[in-house]
Structure 1
């Protein structure tokens, strides 16, 4: 089925490179899948077309069957998930650290108390690493971040639901010359050293874009995955950091949080495969939504419907 999925993606997008991006695979990985499919089918499925490829007649015939088979498989998976509403079995969750720390504990405590046959597991990480694990079936539910100035991108077939929308602050040491302000213009932070998550992650890209938009070339000296570790350096006046509302606590003494100009926001979104929305996934999202109202420093989504199959959502 994975080889047929690769063929269908090439048929839809017209190139191996675009198919690879859609499937979150490398181009060489897609090429290997298609080469094996050709051997199994006993027909040549692709032929060169300039610097790209096109489907042969046999390729078009098989791609038509692939579309129907993949649609039937998605229907079968949905039917199995809907056989009953009993919340049991494994629930494999991946999420960014701040969302795992803030949103999951109460929700999981309720779920496991109400459904003792449910077995949740949790890993933390960034969307760039977690989305491929969702797509290949290693994870069932993600809690990923989407910055307003750097929206998260997901492939078709993934449903997104906004759980939390929150302000983002600049964290400065109380010894920093601008720390007495309530709001700081990012343009005023020229020459400031920054702590941030590693390159490729949403927080890193959002910081770089926010500063460059204000004419500031980022001086990122500390690449640290955890906000609390970043704040320990901020407290010693070594660096500044962009910190979403839910990550402000616990903060070490000596740290001030200033609103930004222009304002920055971050969403936490639940993500799951549309075709694999199981009762445990639905129950977990509902439990998180039930508890989010108890927090006063973050604004919940106000009735936003799920987004399905959007490549970029922000």
Structure 2
């Protein structure tokens, strides 16, 4: 394998034309530069320079290797530039995992702004529930999560994670427009006893929060419809088949036949940005900042 510094020397000779000028450009002495060239000739087994009057010129082998050296040095320069850019420019991949409502309402405008401000950033998005996304974050397969946590049942976050709260919102009961409680300004959750519920799968934050909220009010939940997409839950609510607990951010879009009723004992949900401690890269910082800017606008 060729020594990189010796290839740099050969490239300088090819560019500047003489050993003296190449040495000056590299801030070394001509004798030191000649030593590098002699060692490179030994490495290659070819003469790379030949006399030319009072100076030297590249041999055919020297020109062949110099062309490769120029390509190598261009790649090295590009690598150095990209690494330097990491301190000032936001670039490279950013792998985001988020609950569906955050994908719909928070990410589109934030990612569009990031694309305008940092065209070399390459974001990707995967939606899902905390129970599915958290292992991917911890294994390094995702860089940033937007997770939900319900006030009556906070999400468990394992050690080694950094968090940034983004949204704190009210949760309402979603019922059909012809439901007997639909015209009320507020309802008690226990008043929905006997009403089937649509909810995300067991183990998800929404499901566990619903079960705990109902049981704490003496109601055994009747969760008949396990649907991980909230718009699908609301479609069943609109048809009069179920009720649902729906955070404010997830209430759009909703069918016109759905009514959202605040609860007499308020229930809240929080959306939080989460990443691995020690891995707060410039893309992560930029994305969190863009989300905060979007929410404050």
TM-score of the aligned structures, taking structure 1 as reference length: 0.67
| In structure 1, distance between residues paired with 2:243 and 2:233 | 8
**What is the match of residue 201 of structure 1?**
204
Unmatched segments (≥5 aa) in structure 2: 1-82
Matching residue within 163, 170, 175 for 1:172: 175
Distance 1:277 1:98, change over 3 A: same
Of the two structures, which has the highest relative contact order with CA contacts closer than 8 Å and spacing of 6 or more? Answer: 1
| In structure 2, distance between residues paired with 1:126 and 1:249 | 19
Preserved contact between residue 86 and residue 282 of structure 2 (Cα < 8 Å): no
Q: State the Cα RMSD in Å.
A: 1.5
Can you list the C-alpha shifts for 1:232-254, whole angstroms capped at 9, x where unaligned?
11111110000000111111121
* Displacement after TM superposition at 1:261 (Å): 2.5
Q: How does 1:79-98 map to 2 (within 5 A)?
A: 84-98=87-101
* Displacement after TM superposition at 1:187 (Å): 1.2
Matching residue within 120, 125, 130 for 1:127: 130
* Displacement after TM superposition at 1:180 (Å): 1.0
**What is the match of residue 146 of structure 1?**
149
Distance 1:150 1:161, change over 3 A: same
| In structure 1, distance between residues paired with 2:115 and 2:133 | 24
**What is the match of residue 17 of structure 1?**
none
Structure 1: 4+ residue segments shifted above 3 A: 80-83
Can you list the C-alpha shifts for 1:256-309, whole angstroms capped at 9, x where unaligned?
000012110000000001111100000000000001124xxxxxxxxxxxxxxx
* Displacement after TM superposition at 1:85 (Å): 3.4
**What is the match of residue 58 of structure 2?**
none
Preserved contact between residue 94 and residue 124 of structure 1 (Cα < 8 Å): yes
Matching residue within 214, 218, 222 for 1:219: 222
Unmatched segments (≥5 aa) in structure 1: 1-79, 295-314
Matching residue within 227, 243, 264 for 2:246: 243
Matching residue within 274, 285, 292 for 1:282: 285
Can you list the C-alpha shifts for 1:78-129, whole angstroms capped at 9, x where unaligned?
xx99961321000000000000110001110011111111100000001111
| In structure 2, distance between residues paired with 1:209 and 1:82 | 49
Corresponding residue pairs, total = 215
Q: How does 1:1-314 map to 2 (within 5 A)?
A: 84-294=87-297
| In structure 2, distance between residues paired with 1:251 and 1:273 | 35
TM-score of the aligned structures, taking structure 2 as reference length: 0.71
Task: Flag the structure with larger Rg.
Answer: 2
| In structure 1, distance between residues paired with 2:170 and 2:238 | 21
| In structure 1, distance between residues paired with 2:112 and 2:172 | 30
**What is the match of residue 44 of structure 1?**
none
| In structure 2, distance between residues paired with 1:261 and 1:226 | 26
| In structure 2, distance between residues paired with 1:230 and 1:136 | 31
| In structure 2, distance between residues paired with 1:83 and 1:175 | 57
* Displacement after TM superposition at 1:194 (Å): 0.1
